[in-house]
Structure 1
């Protein structure tokens, strides 16, 4: 494979166009398929310096690397359209989908002998993006080289197809789920006109938590998770109360109910602390949802 082979991006939305723009800094020939795309997409592609091709067959024949960056519900359709043309190069599945779906997509390319690289994009298009890559080492290396010296930091991961997607989804759950929790918490406080006091308490707790465990929950997972696991059996009922209050004020109550389920799975730790982080995490698996509740 050439050091920086002709590369296709399907499809250049804001994120795809940002990736294309960075690859073009390395003089990578980036192609795209304008058929059926909107005027806004066409403008982005032209501004990013992408070269249009007339049809999917030409795109597949022209490209040695194809990067799929599309809405997650379209990931399989995009992959099938490429695999169906007999693509034998490197297909980069860079959408926000689960490891299991990535594995199924990889199977589409097995008859062709193509290489499938799993990718997870972290960061906004306007910032330095992190492009995590997993899968066959030669394919990972070839894709990483496309972005040498650019504002896309290509980061290889140990592990096969699915590893990068798992990181992407785990990060998204923490980053975006935390915002949803904050929004519903604030809405409840606002309903009872104590939002200002909630914000003050949140700032106080954030400072205290930083002193105890570091800058984020993941600076010290053991210090952050294990205390919650040990006390979680007491917090399940509190979450049920919160859910009732949210329901009474016409706010979404699913979040605290889900949190209550997490705490319920830590019921076996009522009378003793977890021995280690692995034990606490093991109790979260689905097989433990029917663990006996503490009296």
Structure 2
């Protein structure tokens, strides 16, 4: 059985790497990437990278606390407490700008699930274990009415909480199968773009709803479907310009893309009897 410290360090490393790979994916319409800020005047690429790095301790602590646990009220509330501390650290780094609050939730649950499984890293099993954890209510969450909650209430859609409680259906059904299938034909960057578009085409993204209403959401979904069907990635640049004009940002899709990348990285972990080491194809 692998050492909990080594496993937790490994998972935290991969979580941060996944967040950095998500923001580095270019071009990414409406979102921060290596070309521009998308529809986010308050964000930069370097700020997003710094934010991701600041969360290493958060993911490490979540893995450590989950290592000898199973899904439970205790674990849900413990990782919630660690996550809120991670948010405070993130906001210190970003000077109050929300960069990765949604990612702390999704990747945090998957980190806890991976620690519970202790080396048996089947992506679908991890999604379901994370979903079990998410179904417990955290009694200590401070009452907040976020933009996502407003969109959920206004449009009657599911948000990040329900996505996790349902074991990440958009990852299981769309982004992960698309990513793995396209890896057989294309390079990893192209596979990530396909996975991102698959999420945008299917997810009722509360970030898009908050910024553009139902019209903005449908516009983004249809644009994403068109590119998926044609495979013309040159259209992503035009999509980015259109999103900036409309102030659209598929932030929910970005969070789930980071989680997709993370799950794939976890699935590539290999353990020896003496130590933990990684092989990533």
Q: TM-score range by the shorter chain?
A: under 0.3
Structure holding more strand per residue? 1
Q: Which has the higher contact order (CA 8 A, sep 6+)?
A: 2
Structure holding more helix per residue? 2
Q: What TM-score do you get using the length of structure 1 for normalisation?
A: 0.23
